[in-house]
């Protein structure tokens, strides 16, 4: 891994890290805690009711010194300033990257091509406030005069995952009598299952598509449109559909009143867009005041990321730890486990954020990279996942670094539930770090009254290697502000990783090829194409599916 010539390891810090890894890789965290009683106090960062404990990592002061030097040598501070100032750091698409402008609560001017983007952003936020309040108060009514209480967001990728994650995370803040649904999958089942639950007279559809040409979104939108017009007539479209888009011509052609089109911009990538009008479903469900608090929390993390020294900078530290494990230990997976039911969709959201951003194999220098980039990110809600993939995390052959997320206070303090939940998350981090030696397992079996033969056989099965890293993120409570902080934190972590790997974290070329090829297969499935276009396997699969559909 370390002998290959590549752009990143030309830095002195990368070479020092490679050398340090060889000497440090077998160090036990148990020993590190014994040697340094202040370790927990040293390796933690506090910000606005958020505390990151990263002491349970396979690091020393020297490790962190080299990692921080790597960030300096990769000119991270200059790259951060470039993003916040509107420079076109998305080099393959020649675009600025300004999701941070969407939550620029100081309203300081940010320029793109000489134009301050803040007036337009504030105009759309104002329009979102007026419309969301009109829906919530029943002033914007459906075709038959009834209040719109079923909100259906139609989108895919960032136009679905962000709002869906946030709406569920903030369920405790939903307006009375409101329900929210999301349709993204082109599978007709996804559409039908939602339509079977709602009433045309009380349903508002939000079609989220920048170009208003995305095949999955438009196919689902057309199905919902037909369902509505079959029940209420063509005139109902203008009263039951709104759009988040930039293509006014296609929006109007669909039957949506252009006044009910909410704009966003090229400097906002899909997976970073929940802070924009893409978050309209969030604003309707929790109210615009709470949406503003979501932006406030994200802005607080932005300011921290922009101004804090790297050794006390939460996104920077998390990213550097990820680099350490991915590129030196060779651990290619990372788990995010929120111990809060409302955060159940956070891992799915972060999958797109991380792997779509940094799953790249060409550097900004237009060279093939020869080192690991994005880790495989997965996760789920604790304690459920303790009964699924935690077996692998504790006793699998390859360690999986984990992020544990826990609120100190639950929205639903019922009996001992939350204390048991907290006990579990804290125990998981300690167990991963400490493990259980074969000797300790044997002693436990002896105390349990097992025979010498049983002990000899079982002691390895009952042992745990330990020395497996985790971070623990504690919030006071999951509210709009803390959710904004959490998501912005991971956005900036992904950005830092991209800087270290020298890749463009803001394009998504890898999404396109499969979609392009699907467009060539579709006519063949519909019987309108001539000639052989594919490999023998694909041709045979098409033939088999057509036969089965008959």
Catalytic residues, by residue number, are: 356, 387, 515
Q: Tell me the two tokens of residue 69.
A: 């030097």
Closest by CA position to 325, among listed 528, 135, 486, 470 = 470
Nearest to 495 by CA among 335, 374, 361: 374
Task: Enumerate residues 6+ apart whose C-beta is below 8 A from 428.
Answer: 337, 382, 386, 390, 402, 404, 470
B/e letters for 259-290, b = 16+ CB within 10 Å, e = fewer, are ebbbbbbebbbbbbbbbbbbbbbbbbbbbbeb
C-beta of residue 52 within 8 angstroms of C-beta of residue 44: yes
Is the distance from CB of 487 to CB of 307 less than 8 angstroms?
no
Q: How is residue 319 written in tokens?
A: 């990213």
Torsion of CA 530, 534, 538, 542, to 10 degrees: -10
Residue 121: which residues within 8 A CB-CB, separation 6 or more?
A: 101, 102, 104
CA dihedral in degrees (145, 148, 154, 158; nearest 10)? Answer: 140
Report CA dihedral (107, 113, 115, 116) to the nearest 10 degrees: 0
Reported in sequence order, the residue ranges of 415-483 that DSSP labels E, i.e. its strands, are 470-475
Q: How many residues does the chain have?
A: 550
Rounded distance between C-alpha atoms, residue 160 and residue 163, angstroms: 6
Question: Any idea what DSSP says for residue 203?
Answer: E
Strands 179-183 and 150-154, bridge-based pairing: parallel
Reported as half-sphere exposure (CB side, CA atoms, 13 A), residue 380 has a value of 8
Task: Identify the residue whose tokens are 């985790």.
Answer: 470
User: Do 501 and 373 contact (CB within 8 A), yes or no?
Assistant: yes
Query: Which whole-number Å values give the CA distances from 490 to 105, 156, 484, in the listed order?
Result: 19, 20, 10
Show the tokens assigned to 533. 């276009």
Q: Which helix (H) or strand (E) holds 540?
A: helix 536-549
The label of the residue with tokens 């009952």 reads 462
| Cα separation, 89 vs 101, whole angstroms | 15
> What tokens were used for 34?
């014994």
Distance, in Å, from the CA atom of 311 to the CA atom of 67, rounded to the nearest integer, reads: 10
Q: Beta strands of 352-478 (E only): which ranges?
A: 376-379, 402-407, 470-475
SS3 state at 438: helix
Q: Write the burial class of residue 379 (CB in 10 Å: 0-12 exposed, 13-18 middle, 19+ buried).
A: buried
């Amino acid at each position: 891994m370390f002998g290959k010539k590549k752009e990143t390891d030309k830095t002195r810090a990368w070479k020092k890290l490679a050398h340090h890894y060889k000497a440090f890789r077998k160090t036990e965290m148990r020993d590190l805690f014994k040697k340094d009683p202040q370790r927990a106090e040293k390796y933690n960062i506090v910000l606005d009711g958020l505390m990151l404990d990263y002491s349970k990592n396979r690091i020393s002061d020297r490790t962190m010194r080299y990692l921080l030097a790597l960030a300096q040598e990769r000119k991270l501070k200059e790259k951060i300033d470039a993003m916040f100032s509107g420079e076109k750091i998305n080099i393959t698409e020649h675009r600025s990257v300004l999701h941070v402008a969407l939550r620029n609560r100081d309203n300081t001017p940010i320029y793109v091509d000489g134009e301050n983007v803040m007036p337009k952003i504030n105009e759309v936020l104002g329009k979102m406030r007026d419309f969301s309040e009109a829906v919530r108060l029943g002033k914007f009514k459906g075709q038959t005069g009834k209040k719109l209480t079923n909100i259906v967001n139609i989108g895919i990728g960032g136009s679905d995952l962000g709002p869906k994650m946030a709406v569920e995370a903030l369920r405790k803040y939903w307006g009375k009598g409101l329900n929210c649904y999301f349709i993204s999958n082109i599978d007709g089942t996804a559409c039908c299952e939602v339509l079977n639950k709602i009433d045309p007279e009380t349903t508002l559809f939000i079609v989220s598509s920048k170009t208003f040409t995305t095949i999955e979104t438009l196919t689902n939108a057309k199905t919902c449109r037909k369902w509505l017009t079959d029940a209420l007539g063509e005139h109902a479209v203008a009263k039951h559909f709104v759009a988040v888009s930039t293509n006014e011509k296609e929006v109007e052609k669909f039957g949506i009143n252009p006044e009910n089109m909410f704009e966003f911009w090229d400097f906002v990538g899909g997976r970073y867009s929940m802070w924009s009008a893409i978050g309209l479903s969030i604003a309707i469900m929790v109210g615009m005041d709470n949406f503003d608090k979501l932006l406030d929390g994200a802005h607080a993390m932005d300011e921290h990321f922009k101004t804090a020294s790297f050794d006390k900078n939460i996104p920077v530290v998390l990213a550097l730890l990820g680099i350490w494990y991915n590129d030196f230990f060779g651990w290619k997976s990372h788990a995010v486990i929120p111990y809060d039911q409302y955060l159940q969709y956070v891992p799915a959201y972060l999958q797109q954020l991380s792997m779509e951003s940094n799953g790249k194999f060409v550097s900004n220098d237009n060279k093939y990279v020869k080192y690991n980039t994005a880790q495989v990110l997965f996760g789920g809600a604790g304690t459920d996942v303790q009964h699924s993939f935690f077996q692998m995390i504790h006793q699998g052959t390859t360690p999986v670094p984990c992020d544990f997320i826990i609120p100190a206070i639950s929205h639903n303090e019922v009996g001992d539930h939350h204390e048991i939940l907290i006990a579990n998350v804290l125990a998981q981090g300690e167990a991963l770090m400490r493990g259980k030696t074969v000797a300790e397992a044997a002693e436990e079996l002896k105390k349990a009254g097992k025979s010498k033969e049983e002990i000899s056989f079982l002691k390895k099965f009952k042992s745990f290697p330990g020395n497996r890293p985790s971070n623990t993120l504690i919030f006071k409570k999951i509210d709009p502000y803390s959710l904004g902080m959490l998501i912005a934190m991971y956005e900036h972590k992904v950005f830092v990783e991209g800087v270290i790997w020298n890749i463009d974290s803001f394009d998504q070329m890898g999404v396109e090829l499969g979609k392009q090829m699907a467009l060539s297969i579709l006519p063949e499935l519909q019987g309108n194409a001539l000639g052989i276009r594919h490999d023998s396997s694909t041709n045979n699969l098409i033939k088999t599916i057509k036969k089965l559909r008959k």
